[in-house]
Amino acid sequence: MDAVVGALSDYPGFLPVVARWHWQEWGHTDPGGTPRSWEAGLARQADADQIPGTLVAVVHGAPVGAVCLVEHDMPGHEAAAGFSPWMKGLFVSHAERRRGYGALLVSRCEAWAAALGHESLYLYTERDSGAEQLYRRLGWQIIRQCQYDGMAVTVMRKNIFRQPAYPSAQRAIDSSRGRERPHLPPGGGRVGVRGSVHAGDEHCQHRGETGARELPAGDRPR
C-alpha cells in the first residue's frame, strides 16, 4: 500500500491526532504537561523545512504515523551533548503497525536530515526493545548503552548521505500544494511524495523521546 509522507503543517487537521499519540505514549514523563500544552508545542515544530520539524505518514486521507527531527536530545546527558540532529517521537498507530510505515518514516527522516546538510543522525530508545531491533535492521549502529532518566537505553547513529543545505538550485515546487520543498537524497524520495511500504516493521515506539524534563517551558512536546 502506498503512503504519502509530508510535513505535519501540510495537514493541520492531523495536529491534534499526532499530539494525542505523543501525549498518550510519553505524557507520563511530563508531570507538569497537559494535552493542550503538548499540542501547542507540536504546532511550533510542524514544518519540514527546518529543525525542529515533524513528518506525518498519510494513507487514504488518514494519519498512520509521525516522526520528529530535533537539534538536540537527552538533555543533561553530557556524553550526548555533541550529537546532532536527533530523530525522535517515532510513532505508528497501533492499528497500522507491522505494515512498513515505521520504516518508511525513518527513511524519510534520514533523507530530510541529509537534505539539510547533515552527515549523521542520532536517536535513543529503550535497550533491547522492538524499536531497537527495527533500527538495527534499518542500518543504525549502537554507539553506547547507558542509564538515562531511570531507563536502560541504547544510543544509536546512522551515517547518512549529505547534500548542501537547501541551495536554491535544489528546491522544488510541490505542485499539489504550491509550496517549495527541498530535493532529498537518492533513495529517500521527496517529502510529500508517495513511497511504497512493506509488511514487517516492528513495534515502532521510540521510548523516552518527549517530556518536560527535555524541554524549556512552553516548547513541549519535541
Secondary structure (DSSP) of 138-160: TT-EEEEEEEETTEEEEEEEEE-
In this predicted model, what pLDDT tens digit does every residue of 107-142 receive, in sequence order? Answer: 999 999 999 999 999 999 999 999 999 999 999 999
pLDDT above 50 for 68: yes
The larger pLDDT score, comparing residue 187 to residue 72, is at 72
d(CA 170, CA 113): 15
Task: Bin 216: left if φ > 0, else alpha if -120 < ψ < 50, else beta.
Answer: beta
| Per-domain boundaries in the chain | 2-214
The C-alpha cell that represents 171 in the structure block? 528546491
By the 8 A CB rule, do 57 and 89 touch? no
CATH architecture of 2-214: 3-Layer(aba) Sandwich (3.40)
State residue 140's pLDDT score: 96
